[in-house]
Structures are given as structure tokens and as C-alpha cells.
Structure 1
Amino acid sequence: MPQLIATTATLLLLLGALLVVHFARREASEIRRSSEDEVQHLRDEARDLLSEAQRREERVSTRENEIAADQRTAQKYARALDERAAVIVRDERRLASDRAARERAHLAALAEVAHLDVDTARKELRERLISEARDDTRADVRRIVRGARKDAESQSRAILVEAMQRQAAATSSETSALWIDLPNEEMKGRIIGREGRNIRAFESLTGVNVIVEEGVNAVQLSSFDVERREIAEVTLRLLVEDGRIHPQRVEQVYSKVVDELPQRHLDAGLDALESAGVRGVSEDMVRTLGRLRLRSSYGQNVLSHLVECGQLAADIARSVGADEEVARRAAFLHDIGKAFTHERAGTHASLGAQYAAEHGESEVVVNAIAAHHDEVPQESVEAVIVQVADALSAGRAGARRDDADGYIERLENLEELVAEHAGVTRVLAMSAGRDVRVMVEPHEVDDEGVAELARTIAEHISKDLSFPGEIKVTVIRELRADAVAG
């Protein structure tokens, strides 16, 4: 029995060894096949690379042949030009010699006829030739200047039209009221609340009037303060989306929206930077730019206007060979001072230039911002491009709107207010109401009273009129004396 067990064990060991050998051989066969496949794949790739290299070598050889042919042709033309230049030089020398001989003969004949010596005749001839040449030169200069001016105007129009076509953007207009759609009629009741407590809480927090009309599945928010209206809009949309509307919930959502306002400014500024293609602006400037999304000028959104100006200036600078990035940056920042016109004294151009200088902008950019309304001289071509881009963006059809009746009424109110002061004989509101010229009676207002009257009028305007930016008051006193001799 032990012998049988030993034999069985031996057989099992042999069987195991055979199985191991069998699996090892099969694995080796699979590895060999895989290696052969990989080698074949590498051979195919090498063959493809060799074919591609041969094709490229053929293209390079063909291109070298073409270049050699072009060089031979160029050398041929160069030799022909050298020969032509030699002929021209020879002809010029011959013509100069002939001209000198004719001049000598003419001088001799002139001296014989006029009984003058050769020096005197030469002097008179020189003076006559100089006079004729001067007249011909003046005529040529005038003709060249007229042609150059005509070509420059044509090219300028082409450049501006091309820039405007590339940047034909939609115009964003701001109004004093906006509508918010509601999902159903029941939402109106939730907004109003029991005995109107929800709507009262909302209006007292936001400072915005909520108008609910019958038959319209929407409510209207009305306010002349754009920032308040924007906060109220976001607050109401969140409340409508959530569905829970009560005074406590209104306070919670309103506080959240107010806290997120700086982040919305930052996001708007970053989006504008990306759209305009401007980089390297500090975070403080980005937030300031974001605040301009809530500012408008004659219905044109200021931030959208800056983005459009940056793109226009870049296109114009590229066309005329100016510094494209400087023009883009200066145009994008040129109205940044409008974020401070309600906080600091000064025009938006001067405030913007000061703010840009404080944040490390270059002198070219600072000058372009300060000079875009001609308050200071323009010191670079990029500053001129910024002014052109600003005029294009503001002046194109549909960019800005202003009610004619309201515009006239504002100017009339301004003139009437100034005319109320004693001694004023005539008032002229100029530059869209930003400049007021006041003529006074010299017998009623003396020289010392002119400055005092200007300050009084400026204080009166600031107190009784609402206006953006600044109004410059200029008082003019002119004394004339007339007499008649009989």
C-alpha cells in the first residue's frame, strides 16, 4: 500500500510538471505571437514614417528647385535693371552736357542782344528760372496736398467703417422700470401678502416701488436708482423662484443679495475684461469697472460701451499701425471715472486719469483717458484713436437715445433757473447742458461780483437740479461805451 501511494504521488507530480510545462509553452507562444504582432506594427509604422519622410524630402527638393529658379529669375532682372540704370546714367550725363551747352549759347545770345556781359545775363537768367521753378513747385505742392488729403479722408472712412462693421454690437439701454414675469397668478397674492405686509416690507427694504396690475401675469419694479432696482430685481426673482414669501424671508434674501453685490460687480468686470481682450488689471479696478454695469449714458450701458470702445480702438490701431494693446486698454478704461462722479468733484475724464495713474497704468493710457474729451492735449496717436472709438461707439445709429422734448425741457429749466438771478441779461446752455454761459449787466454786477455770482449760480444749480457729472458756469461781464458825433 505505501508503494502504491508513492507511485500515485510520483504520477501526480509528473502530471503537475507536465501541466506547468504545457501552460508555460502556451504562454511563451502567446508572448511570441504578441511580440511578433508588435514588431510587425512597429515595422508598419516605420514604413509609414519612411514614406512620409520621402514625401517631405520630395516636397523640400521641389521647393528648393522653385527657389533656385526664382533666384535665377531675380538675378536676371537685377542684371537687366543694372543695365537699364547704366543707360539712364549715361543719358542723364548727355542731357546735362547738352543743357549746359544750350545755356551757354543762350547766355551769349542774351548778352549780344541786350548788350550785357555774361555774368549779368547769367544772373538775370538764374533769377527768372528760380521764379518759374518756385511757381511750378507751389502748384505741384498744392496738387499733392489736395491729393494726399483726399486719399487720407478716403482711407480714414474705410478704416472707421471697417471697424464699425466688425463691432456692430447690440446696444444695452437702461430704463427706470422693468417687468418681472411670474409663473402664475397666485404668485401676485404671495408678493402682496396678507393686508399687503409682504409688498410693504419689500418696498421699505429695497426703496423700489412694486406695481401690480390686473390682467398682467407680471409685476413692475420702478426706481430711478439703478443699483437699488438691480438689487430689488435679484431679490424678487429669488423669492419667486423659492415660493416662500413673507417679511422675514424678504429680509433674509435681501441681505444675501446685498452681500453678494461686490461679487456681482467683480464677475461683471471680469466678463467685460474677457470680452474686450484686456489683461493685467488689478482686482480693485475690476470691481470699479463692474460697478459701471449699473451706469448708463443717454440709455447706453457704460460697461458695454467700454467693451465696444476697446474692440473698436484695437481694430483702428491695427489698421493704422499704432500700438494695438495700448489703444485697446486705454479705450476700455477711458470712462472708468464715471464710477466716481457722484462721489468726488471733477469730470469723469480727470477722475478716471487720476484713478488709472494711482493703479500703475502707463503715461500713454493715463493721457488718453484724460484727453478723450479734449480737457488736456493728446500726446499720442493712441489717445486720438481712443477719442475716435468713443465717438464711434456713442454716435452710431441706435447706440444712444435721448427724448428730444425732455432734452429741451432740461435745457430750458436750467436757463430759467440761472436767469432768476439779479443782473443776468442772457443765459446760454451749451454742450448738452454741461456748460452755461451767463451774460450780466455791467452796471449791476461789478468785477468783484462776477466771481461771487458764478459761485451762487453753481450752488443754486446743485441744490435745485438733478444732473449727471458737472455743469461749468461762466459769467461774462462786458462793458461798452457808445458815443455819437454829430
Structure 2
Amino acid sequence: MNLEQIAAGILIGIILGFLLRQFLSIRLKLKAEKEIEAEIANLQKKKEEILEEAKKASLEIIEGAKKERERLLSDLQQKEDRLFQKEKILDEKEANLIEKERIFQEGLKKIEEKERILNEKEKELIAELEKISGLKKEEALELLFKKIEKDYEEDIFRALSKLRKNLKEAVEEEAKKIIVETIPRYAKSVVSEITTTIIRLPTEEMKGRIIGKEGRNIKHFENLTGVELIIDETPDIITLSSFDPVRREIARIALEKLIKDGRINPATIEEKIAEAKKEIEKEIEEAGKLASYEVGIFDLPQEILLLMGRLKFRYSYGQNVLNHSIEVATFARMIAEELNLDATVAKKAGFLHDIGKAVTHEIGGNHLEIGIRILEKYNIDEKVILAMRSHHETYPFAIPEAYIVLAADIISGARPGARRETIEIYLQRLQELEKIAYSFEGVEKAFAIHGGRELRVFVVADKVSDLEMFNLAKEIASKIERELTYPGEIKVVVIRENRAIEYAR
């Protein structure tokens, strides 16, 4: 009995729990439905509010669009009215022009008719005059002109002379004005030439090391560079002397390297001189590039720039040729701009006018002809060649820029202090000494040293024997006596050197 009661109680509890759960579930469902209905009502309200606001906004937009449309239509109507009015005026003007053209054509026809009648009468009169005078029209005119020329010959000559004088004065005045305006615009110091370079030594003892045992080092250095080393009692100083600035610069660089290295012997001397030559080659390349950049020329071939760089170590009448070329290019550009001519052609021609001087010691001929051949080889603009080739007036002036290059060349050379003719004569004599030595077969190198008082000649050992060496010295001396004029005497030293080289491995 107790078990039945317990089972009944459990069953009743389960039923009651189920019913309670169902009740709570229904209650929660109803509550959720109410909340959803409330939320839906709220959303519906917001929807209506948004629609209302959108409706108001759309009405405002429509209203604004209507007003803008009315304004645009009004503007278009006004413009259309104005265009119609202008079109009406143009039609009236066109009608007036047509009428005027008609009147003009009628007048032109009348004039042509009158001109025809006058020409016929003129022909009749000329024929009548020819019949009366017995002369044709051309003959009568010739007689008339001769009579006028004879009667007024003196007045015509006086007028032409005055005209020529005034023209010449005007041209000279304009030329002076251009030169006066051009020269002050180019401010650059004048570089005067020197033939010596001073090297400062760290100690006086370094002089002995440079001289070497029995003068071995200094002789080897001078033989390889062609530069004289002057060592005197001046403390801590050695002077390099040579008329050739390239040799002198190579010697300076090599000697400074030797001093810094400390090892001074024939092998090291040869090594440092070779290094110095490479540095000079690089410096020449940079000099050409910098010069072209300075004058604003950027389209020259590399080979031309290298030749221009070599002019850094060339001098003419004491004036550095590269600096002179830069000056001529600058002056030529300024003058061309003043005269409204081709400044680019004038500038480039001025820059390249002395390029032949870079190789005159290697190629026979004058620098102008060599320069023309170089520019033609590298396809430089023909106008530039025509402009540069007349700067010595050996060629006719083919284009106006040729006159400008000549004027710029004269201005650069004529500036006070720009050139020194005495040193040019001295350098020319030294170059002629070396040229005489090179004219003999078997000569490898020749250096004029000691201010031109000594000519040191190196010969190829395979081509010149010891006996022939003495004869060669005599022949060179005789040729110098015949062809050159010089003060005092010139010592000719011919050197024949044999080397035996072997390697220990």
C-alpha cells in the first residue's frame, strides 16, 4: 500500500510539473508576443516618422529643383534673346557688307575701265613722242638718267660718303656697346703661366735620399720625367723646372708620392711615375667634363671631352688654352644673344675653336686644320665647324656666328694680362729644340732642360750603336746651329741605355 501511494504521488508530481511547465511556457510566450508586438508598434511608428521626414525632404528637393529649373530656364531664355539680338545685328551687318562689296566692285570696274583708257592714251603718247624724237622709250630713259647722274654726280657721291660714314660710326658704336656690356659680365681671374713648381720637404735629410748614391735617383727621375730637379741651399724646398706643364705635373705628383712613401730607389721611382701618369689621365678627363659643364654644353662625345681636357696643360702666349676656350665660349654666347643670333652654335664653336692644339705635338699641321678634321671625324654640327674655322681669318666667313667667334677670340686674348708673348717665344724655342731631336731616326725621348741650355736625348739601344750615338749628338748640335737663334750655347747629351732583366723564382 505504501508503494502504491508513493507511485501515485510521484505520478501526480510529474503531471503537476508538466502542467506547471506548460503554464510557464505559455505565459512566457504571451509575454514575448506582447514585447514583439510592442517592438513592432515602435518600429512602425519610427517607420512612419522616417517616411514623413523623407517625404518632407523630397518635397524640399523637388521644390528646390523646380526653382533651379525655373532659374535655368530664365537664364537660357535671356541668353537666347541676346543671341537672337546679336544674330539680328550680324544679319544687318552682313547685308551692309554685301551692299558695300557690290558698290566696291562697281567702283573697281569703273577704275579698271579708266586705267585701261589711261594706258591706251599713255601708249599713244609714247608712240607719238618716239615718232617726234626719233628715240625709243628705253633710249630716252637712259639719256635722262645719264644727264641726271652727270648733273648731280657730286651730290650723289657726297650723300653716299655721308651715308657710309654714318653707317660705319653706327656699327662701331654698336660694336663698342656690345663689347662694353659683354666683358664686365665675365668675371674671371687671369691665370699667368709658370715654368717651375716648388715642392716642400718634411726634413732637409730628404734631399739626400732624393739625390741618391752618386746622384742615381735624381738622374733616373729626370730621365723618366724630362723635368729638372733643382736642389740648392734653400731649406726644405726642391724646385721642379720644365716648360711642359704636363711633365711638370707628373713629376710633382710622383715626387710627392715618393716623399710620402719614403722608399726612394729607381724601381719605386718608375712605379710612382706610372701612377702619376694615370692620375693625370684621369684629371684630363675630369677637366674636359667640368669645362663643358661650366659653359653649358652637354652633348659632346667623350673623345672630344678628353681632347679638351688636355688643353688644361697647354698654353698659348702664357694663357691657359682651356681657360681661353671657356672664355671664348662665354663671350661668343653673350655677343650672339645681344645680336639675336644662334647662341648655341656660337658658344660651341668658341669652346672648340682651339681643340687642334691638344694634338699639335703629335700630328703634323697647324692647329686649325687639325681641329677641323677632329670635329668632322666626330660628326660635330657643320654650323659649328663653319663658325670656328674662320677665327684666324684663313677661311671665308660662311655664317654670322663666325664673326662672333673671331671677336670673342680677340677679346679673350686682348684682355689686360691675359697673355705674355715673351714666355711664349721661350717655350716655342724649347719645343723646337725637342722637335729637332725627334727628327732623327732612333730617338725615343727628348727633353729640353736647364732653361733650354741642355737637350737630353734618349735613343733606342737596338737602333743606335755607341759609335753612332756620338755622331748623332754632333748632327743634332749642327742642326740646332743652322735652324735656331739662341743666346750662349746649348749642350746636347745623347743617352743610350741597356737593361738586363731577370727574375729569381
Shift of 1:344: 2.3
CA distance in 1 between counterparts of 2:149 and 2:425 reads: 65
Shift of 1:175: 3.2
Alignment of structure 1 residues 6-45 onto 2, 5 Å: none
Q: Which residue of 2 aligns with 1:198?
A: 217
Cα gap change, 1:332/1:145 in structure 2, threshold over 3 Å: closer, same or farther?
same
CA distance in 2 between counterparts of 1:272 and 1:466 reads: 38
Q: Which residue of 2 aligns with 1:420?
A: none
Q: Which residue of 2 aligns with 1:217?
A: 236
> Alignment partner for residue 391 of structure 1, among 410, 417, 424?
410
Shift of 1:180: 1.9
Q: Which residue of 1 aligns with 2:273?
A: 254
Shift of 1:246: 3.6
1:232 aligns with 2:268: no
Q: Secondary structure at the match of 2:389?
A: helix
Contact 1:364 1:383 in 2 (8 A): no
Q: Which residue of 2 aligns with 1:363?
A: 382
Q: Secondary structure at the match of 1:388?
A: helix
Q: Which residue of 2 aligns with 1:305?
A: 324
CA distance in 2 between counterparts of 1:287 and 1:131 reads: 66
Report the AA paired with residue 283 of structure 1: Q
Stretch deviating more after TM superposition (294-303 or 199-208):
199-208
Q: Which residue of 2 aligns with 1:324?
A: 343
CA distance in 2 between counterparts of 1:403 and 1:259 reads: 32
Shift of 1:194: 4.7
> Alignment partner for residue 179 of structure 1, among 176, 187, 198?
198
CA distance in 2 between counterparts of 1:462 and 1:344 reads: 25
TM-score normalised over the length of structure 1: 0.54
Shift of 1:230: 1.8
CA distance in 1 between counterparts of 2:156 and 2:295 reads: 49
Aligned residues: 298
**Structure 2 unaligned residues grouped into runs of 5+:** 1-140, 433-478, 487-505
Q: Which residue of 2 aligns with 1:160?
A: 179
Q: Which residue of 2 aligns with 1:353?
A: 372
Report the AA paired with residue 303 of structure 2: D
> Alignment partner for residue 288 of structure 1, among 290, 307, 317?
307
Cα gap change, 1:274/1:255 in structure 2, threshold over 3 Å: closer, same or farther?
same
Shift of 1:135: 7.0
Shift of 1:369: 2.4
Stretch deviating more after TM superposition (301-310 or 217-226):
217-226
Report the AA paired with residue 307 of structure 2: T
Contact 2:201 2:236 in 1 (8 A): yes
Q: Secondary structure at the match of 1:342?
A: coil
Shift of 1:137: 6.4
Cα gap change, 1:365/1:126 in structure 2, threshold over 3 Å: closer, same or farther?
closer
What's the CA shift string for 1:54-101, capped at 9, x where partnerless? xxxxxxxxxxxxxxxxxxxxxxxxxxxxxxxxxxxxxxxxxxxxxxxx
Report the AA paired with residue 287 of structure 2: A
Alignment of structure 1 residues 60-75 onto 2, 5 Å: none
Contact 1:368 1:383 in 2 (8 A): yes
**Structure 1 unaligned residues grouped into runs of 5+:** 1-122, 414-459, 468-486
Shift of 1:195: 4.6
Q: Secondary structure at the match of 1:360?
A: coil
What's the CA shift string for 1:262-311, capped at 9, x where partnerless? 22211111121122222211111111111111111111111111111111
> Alignment partner for residue 226 of structure 2, among 207, 210, 215?
207
1:150 aligns with 2:166: no
What's the CA shift string for 1:99-151, capped at 9, x where partnerless? xxxxxxxxxxxxxxxxxxxxxxxx99999999888876665554443323212
Contact 1:309 1:331 in 2 (8 A): yes
Shift of 1:323: 0.8
Shift of 1:364: 1.5
> Alignment partner for residue 402 of structure 1, among 421, 434, 453?
421
Q: Which residue of 1 aligns with 2:465?
A: none
Q: Which residue of 1 aligns with 2:47?
A: none
CA distance in 2 between counterparts of 1:174 and 1:238 reads: 25
RMSD: 3.5
Report the AA paired with residue 411 of structure 2: L
Shift of 1:325: 1.0
CA distance in 1 between counterparts of 2:361 and 2:144 reads: 74
Contact 2:222 2:228 in 1 (8 A): yes
TM-score normalised over the length of structure 2: 0.53
1:245 aligns with 2:264: yes
* Percent identity (aligned): 39
Report the AA paired with residue 300 of structure 1: Q
What's the CA shift string for 1:382-434, capped at 9, x where partnerless? 11111111111112211111229968x98xx9xxxxxxxxxxxxxxxxxxxxx
